[in-house]
Amino acid sequence: MRKIEQEFLNLLKQQAAYQEATMLTYWDMRTKIPNNGVEQRSEVVGFLSEKQHQIETSDQMKYFIDELKDTTEDGVIQKAVEECEENYERNRKIPIAEYKDYVMLQSKSEAIWQEAREKDDFTLFQPYLEKLVDYNKRFAEYWGYKDNKYDALLHNFEPGVTTKTLDQVFPELRKSLSEMLTKINASNSKPDPSVMNGHFPKNDQEAFTIDVLNEMGYDFSSGRLDETIHPFAIALNMNDVRITTRYDENDFRMAVFGTIHEGGHALYEQNISQKLAGTPLATGTSMGIHESQSLFWENFISRSKAFWENHYKTFQSYAPKNFQKLPLDDFYRAINEVKPSLIRIEADELTYPLHIMIRYELENALINDEVSVGDLPGLWNEKMNEYLGITPPTNREGVLQDIHWAGGDFGYFPSYALGYMYAAQFHNTMNKEMDIHKLVSEGKFDPIRNWLTDHIHQYGKMKKPLEIIEDVTQEKLNPDYLVNYLHDKYGAIYNF
């Protein structure tokens, strides 16, 4: 390796070190930190983020980009240079003092959001959210955009996808989901959700989900499971990928399916090629592809009949008495009940994308100055009623339920719906190469995880999201696979 290439990699390792320290700080703030520690910790986050920003936009980084982008013959270094050049060009447009202030605001806002959520008081959070929105509007102007200001933010999470794409795909998907929801509501063959009732101790839920995570291939020697208000997965590095969950002792589904969801994220990060370690390529290529992995395991695997054919007896060994004599078919239909939910992370498979569309429409309107932050609680409730036929009785169950806006993650929400469509497309392709139902019903997850690693995980950011979709499935994004999957599954459950 040439000396200049090694010097470039050394700079990237410095950058990765600050990134890891920042992620560890965020993990602590979301899981362990005492309330009085937030202010000082926010300053620490600001300091660490400032150091990352300085490296990303430094003259030294620019030197390496210019020297290596047309001369290196190393494929990893070439891709790393391309990634660094994009980050350099975007981030240098933001004044460093402004960036530091924004990062400190993010960490403070998350703490205030938690307090506002607990007290069900949107006015506590509103001034922080107004500042976050203003920052994101300015950043969008700094970065530039062609047709829609929101595209500049969407690019941070799903490169290559624009509002034009979303505004074509989402209405078609909504129409199909609404038609199925009408048939489900009219069905005379509905599951009995009362069979889910019963106190299910947290420790027993945790024990069952740990069993499942081990079977999926989550490496606990390179990760851990903790409890938090809003579940998340976070990768400090490929050898330290942590997941969190939230327990409800009156409804095991939140923790079981939520933990498997975060486990899907973690498998992605744990199985990136080691040759990418220490570079900005050593992470998922986009939030949409990331969500495709979590939703693949949560919905296409763990909510399937095949999964419970294999795992129901194990589940019953941990579950309370009312599950011991419950027939598998009744259990399977009950966990897949379609019923509009106030809370996104508790939503069923079919109505879940509608939650995403509501958030997308609201934040798109916010960024384009079509609505104000103060309008959000009322608009949220109106859209919930329009899309799902229910109205949140409190802001805790409405506009305050998600952490994303508190963290400044505008442009993130569409990734969930895109990831769901990606997952269906991957599932369709995988099923042509192996019998997924048979493997899952036999508890054989290794071939499934290995296929995902070979086709998706190992590449990290070596490939762009739309490149992965086309390479793996031999076609562009196609929402029909998700519609067909949902129609087949719920047509059988609800007999339509």
195 and 68 in one domain? no
CB atoms within 10 A of CB 4: 15
Identity of residue 238: M
DSSP secondary structure letters along 429-490: HHHHHS-HHHHHHTT--HHHHHHHHHHTGGGTTSS-HHHHHHHHHSSS--THHHHHHHHHHH
Of 43, 75, 92, the residue that ends a domain is 92
302 and 377 in one domain? yes
CB atoms within 10 A of CB 324: 9
131 and 34 in one domain? no
306 and 184 in one domain? yes
DSSP secondary structure letters along 194-221: GGG-S---HHHHHHHHHHHHHHHT--GG
3-state class percentages of the chain: helix first, strand second, coil last, to nearest 5: 70, 5, 30
Query: 308 lies in a domain?
Result: yes
Helices (H), 398-444: 414-433, 436-441
Query: 97 lies in a domain?
Result: no
> Which tens digits make up the pLDDT trace of 67-119?
999 999 999 999 999 999 999 999 999 998 999 999 999 989 999 999 999 99
Catalytically active residues are 262
pTM of the predicted protein model: 0.93
188 and 69 in one domain? no
Per the rule left: phi > 0, alpha: psi between -120 and 50, beta: everything else, 259 is alpha
Confidence of residue 345 (pLDDT cuts 50, 70, 90): confident
DSSP secondary structure letters along 269-291: HHTS-GGGTTSTTSS-S-HHHHH
Tokens of residue 307, six digits: 């999964």
Instruction: Assess contact for 106 and 383: CB atoms under 8 A.
Output: no
Q: d(Cα 268, Cα 286) in Å, to the nearest integer?
A: 11
Res 160 pLDDT > 80:
yes
Q: d(Cα 132, Cα 362) in Å, to the nearest integer?
A: 15
Tell me, what's the pLDDT at 77?
Answer: 97
Q: State how far Cα 71 lies from the chain centre.
A: 36
Tokens of residue 250, six digits: 């009156």
382 and 332 in one domain? yes
Tell me, what's the pLDDT at 25?
Answer: 95
Query: 137 lies in a domain?
Result: yes
The Cα angle at residue 344 between residues 32 and 450, in degrees rounded to 5: 75
Instruction: Assess contact for 486 and 178: CB atoms under 8 A.
Output: no
317 and 206 in one domain? yes
- Widest distance between CA atoms in the chain: 72
Query: 103 lies in a domain?
Result: no
207 and 74 in one domain? no
> Which tens digits make up the pLDDT trace of 288-310?
999 999 999 999 999 999 999 99
The burial of 9, by beta-carbon neighbours within 10 Å (0-12 exposed, 13-18 middle, 19 or more buried), is given as middle
Res 1 pLDDT > 80:
no
242 and 319 in one domain? yes
Q: State how far Cα 314 lies from the chain centre.
A: 28
168 and 63 in one domain? no
76 and 148 in one domain? no
177 and 51 in one domain? no
> Which tens digits make up the pLDDT trace of 161-209?
999 999 999 999 999 999 999 999 999 999 999 999 889 999 999 999 9
Tokens of residue 395, six digits: 């802001």
Of 73, 92, 111, the residue that ends a domain is 92
Query: 108 lies in a domain?
Result: no
Nearest to 212 by CA among 299, 291, 314: 314
Q: Residue for token digits 């399977």?
A: 332
Q: d(Cα 353, Cα 427) in Å, to the nearest integer?
A: 18
Query: 107 lies in a domain?
Result: no
The Cα angle at residue 404 between residues 402 and 409, in degrees rounded to 5: 160
Instruction: Assess contact for 352 and 329: CB atoms under 8 A.
Output: no
Instruction: Assess contact for 293 and 265: CB atoms under 8 A.
Output: yes
Indicate the DSSP class of residue 84: H
Tell me the CB-side half-sphere exposure of residue 441, using CA atoms within 13 A.
7
Domain that holds residue 74: 3-92
> Which tens digits make up the pLDDT trace of 262-279?
999 999 999 999 999 999
Of 92, 110, 132, the residue that ends a domain is 92
Instruction: Assess contact for 128 and 108: CB atoms under 8 A.
Output: yes
Query: 105 lies in a domain?
Result: no
Instruction: Assess contact for 185 and 173: CB atoms under 8 A.
Output: no
Domain count, the chain: 2
DSSP helix/strand/coil, 460: coil
User: Residues of the chain with pLDDT > 90: what percent?
Assistant: 97
Average pLDDT of 123-133? 98
Strand pairing category for 240-245 and 233-237: antiparallel
Instruction: Assess contact for 334 and 196: CB atoms under 8 A.
Output: yes
The CATH number linked to 350 is 1.10.1370.30
Tell me, what's the pLDDT at 392?
Answer: 98
> Which tens digits make up the pLDDT trace of 425-439?
999 999 999 999 999
Tokens of residue 309, six digits: 């054919």
Query: 466 lies in a domain?
Result: yes
Confidence of residue 496 (pLDDT cuts 50, 70, 90): very high
Average pLDDT of 133-160? 96
- Rounded to the nearest integer, the mean pLDDT of the chain is 96
Res 28 pLDDT > 70:
yes
> Which tens digits make up the pLDDT trace of 370-427?
999 999 999 999 999 999 999 999 999 999 999 999 999 999 999 999 999 999 999 9
